[in-house]
Amino acid sequence: MASLSTTSLSFKAPSTRISQVLRKGSSFQSVTFGRFTSSTSKSLRLQISCAAKAETVQKVSDIVKEQLALTADTPLTAESKFTALGADSLDTVEIVMALEEKFNISVEESDAQNITTIQEAADLIEDLVQKKPAA
Amino acid sequence: MQRSLSMGLTSLLPLKLPSRMETHLWYIRPDEVKCASLLKHYSQLLSPTEKDRVLQMRGDELKKNALLARTLVRTTIARYQTNSEVDPRSLMFKKNKYGKPEVDWQNYNNCNNPPLHFNISHTDSLIACGVTVHVPVGIDVENKERKIKHDVLAFAERFYSADEVKFLSTILDPEVQRKEFIKLWTLKEAYVKALGKGFSAAPFNTFTIQSKVGTEGCYNLCKTSEMTISSLEKTEKCYEEWRFALLELADSHYGAICTEDDQAGGGAISIDIDTEESIYSVISSSHLSPSCRWSYEGDYPKNHPFRRR
């Protein structure tokens, strides 16, 4: 069908007034399709951690591939952005959960938002693993 | 300022603005768009940055969906400009302080432009765009059948509020539980997106959304207060200034809408479903490849937005 069909629906609520939305501090860099990520703390974090081992990157890639049901021939690099691979917000959260389980770490919500690529996930994981008290 | 339409662009049927009490939700199904030359022409509506982002998507399906999402946003917003015809290509977008996309009206004479707010959401099988006037809006859509890889309760315990976990744990049927989980996800996402301050402004476990007793599809936002007097007491305040609705779209998806509304005191939300077969074709028939031409034969339906020159 050579057309773009759309359907619209509208819902009405009783009358509204304009109201001020108070805005606070931090700045964010947005990902186009719905999820907001922070650029400020991301750049700080990258300054203090070293690049993750290739092994970690591979493990993260495997988890991402599984969560997003990627075919074997999908090109995947450490710099691959989750959104470019088709991850939506729910996928990203599931990926974070899987990473927590795999590496036995706990990811803060604010850190979880900063993960947009495989490399960033791997960096964060190694950071957290390093910080864990010795078993 | 009127931009001249070129390349055989046909006019998009204008839309009446939503009233302050309304949200309009437009959605498309990518699997219904198959014509390659149509997609090519849609790509010409996009800004260079948008085109780059589309190209960054890995795989043809993802590229197509990204393209359709931008096309939907541009053509929908352009249709609401009832004072003069607006070329969807000429629309500009910017981000608020927190990264939420909004329309940038700088190129237009500002007096007559309505303070439109929009928000988009997409899954692989459906793309939606919500539009309001004067108030912020957030929408989120999810496939009803979406499978969660983790245990639903474990997921909820990790991310949702305690009350929501309690609610989900009372549901015995795992299928129903999964569906309620998804519904809550869309509602919570819609709220965070309507708020427009990024995820950390409203971590999922700091607020509860629950359905309004005696209604279908209507929900309330309650926040768990951070200051508790004792561990046994919890102060909960329900925030009437955020309105929620949950809809089923195309029988296959849940769509959550959240808008800001200062009027405390509840009241029913009515949902009008206005199905319009809108064909956003921005090319004249001579540009269609033979495989697409057949669809332009015959009469157009009554509400056809496609006006030929």
The token pair that represents B221 in the structure block? 């936002």
* Contact: A13, B269; criterion CB under 8 Å: yes
Which residue in this structure is represented by tokens 């940055």?
B49
Q: Which spans in B253-309 are helix H?
A: 290-293
At A10 the pLDDT is 56
Q: Which of B135, B203, B243 sits opposite A18 (nearest CB)?
A: B135
Written as one letter, the residue type at B265 is G
The answer to whether the Cβ–Cβ distance between B100 and A30 falls below 8 Å is yes
Whether A37 contacts chain B with CB within 8 A: yes
Higher local confidence (pLDDT), B252 or B299: B252
When computed from its CA atoms, the radius of gyration of chain B, rounded to whole angstroms, is 21
Give the angle A101-A107-B209 at the CA atoms, nearest 5°: 100
Residue A112's nearest CA partner among A96, A100, A94 is A96
Q: What is the pLDDT of residues B243-259, one digit of tens each?
A: 888 888 888 999 999 99
Instruction: Give the pair of three-digit tokens for residue B294.
Output: 């057949």
Active site residue A88: yes
B239 contacts B208 by C-beta, under 8 angstroms: no
Model pLDDT, residue B19: 79
Candidates A15, A26, A88; nearest CB to B21: A15
Residue B167's nearest CA partner among B191, B184, B148, B192 is B184
Residue (of B47, B39, B89, B95) closest to B67 by Cα position: B39
Which residues from chain B sit within 8 angstroms of residue A2, using beta carbons? 34-35, 38, 281, 288, 292-296
Name B52's Cβ contacts closer than 8 Å, sequence gap at least 6. Answer: none
Per-residue pLDDT reduced to its tens digit, B182-199: 999 999 999 999 999 887
In this predicted structure, the answer to whether residue B7 has a pLDDT above a threshold of 90 is no
As beta bridge partners, residue B125 has: none
Instruction: Say whether residue A30 is in contact with chain B using an 8 A CB cutoff.
Output: yes
Q: Identify all chain A residues contacting B189, using CB atoms and an 8 Å cutoff.
A: 34, 89
The gap between the terminal CA atoms of chain A, to the nearest Å, is: 61
Residues B121-169 have pLDDT tens digits of 989 899 999 988 888 999 999 999 999 999 999 999 999 999 999 999 9
Give pLDDT, residue B109: 59
* Alpha-carbon dihedral angle through residues B117, B131, B120, B243, given to the nearest 10 degrees: 90
Hey, CA dihedral for B98, B99, B105, B107, is it positive or negative? positive
Digits of tens for pLDDT over chain A (135 positions)?
444 556 666 555 444 343 333 434 444 443 344 444 444 454 555 544 456 688 999 999 999 999 999 987 787 899 999 999 999 889 999 999 999 999 999 998 778 877 899 999 999 999 898 887 755
What confidence score (pLDDT) does residue B152 get? 96
* Number of neighbouring beta carbons within 10 Å of residue A54: 10
Percent of chain A as helix, strand, coil, to the nearest 5: 45, 10, 45
pLDDT tens for B102-111 read 988 776 655 5
Indicate yes or no: CB of A33 within 8 angstroms of CB of B122.
Answer: yes
Record: contact B56-A34, CB cut-off 8 A? no
Coil, helix or strand at residue B260: strand
The interface residues of chain A toward chain B in range 70-89, judged by CB-CB distance below 8 A, are 74-75, 80-81, 84-86, 88-89
B112 touches B129 (CB < 8 A): no
**Residue with more model confidence, A81 or B201:** A81
Cα-trace Rg, chain A: 19
Q: How confident is the model at residue B283 (pLDDT cuts 50, 70, 90)?
A: very low
Tokens describing residue B231: 């561990």
User: What is residue B82's predicted lDDT score, i.e. its pLDDT?
Assistant: 65
Name the residue among B149, B200, B262 with its Cβ closest to that of A17.
B262
Across the range B217-224, mean pLDDT stands at 76
Tell me how many degrees the CA angle A109-A111-A117 measures, rounded to the nearest 5: 120
Q: Determine the Cα–Cα distance for residues B95 and B139; give it in Å rounded to an integer.
A: 17
Q: In the structure encoding, which two tokens stand for residue B80, read together?
A: 């609401």
Residue B151 in 3-state DSSP? coil
Q: Backbone phi, then psi, for B261, in 5-degree steps? A: -155, 120
Among residues A116, A6, A42, the alpha carbon closest in space to that of B277 is found at: A6
| Residue among B19, B21, B80, B191 with most chain A CBs within 10 A, to mutate | B21
Write out the two tokens for B229: 């007097």
User: Predicted confidence band at B79 (pLDDT cuts at 50, 70, 90)?
Assistant: confident
Q: Could you tell me if B138 and B24 are in contact, meaning their C-beta atoms sit under 8 angstroms apart?
A: no
Residue B47 has pLDDT above 90, yes or no: yes
CA of B153 to nearest chain A CA: how many angstroms apart?
13
CB B255: neighbour CB atoms within 10 A? 23
CA neighbours closer than 13 Å in the CB half-sphere of residue B213: 0
**Residue type for position B119:** N
- Containing A99, the helix (H) or strand (E) segment is helix A89-103
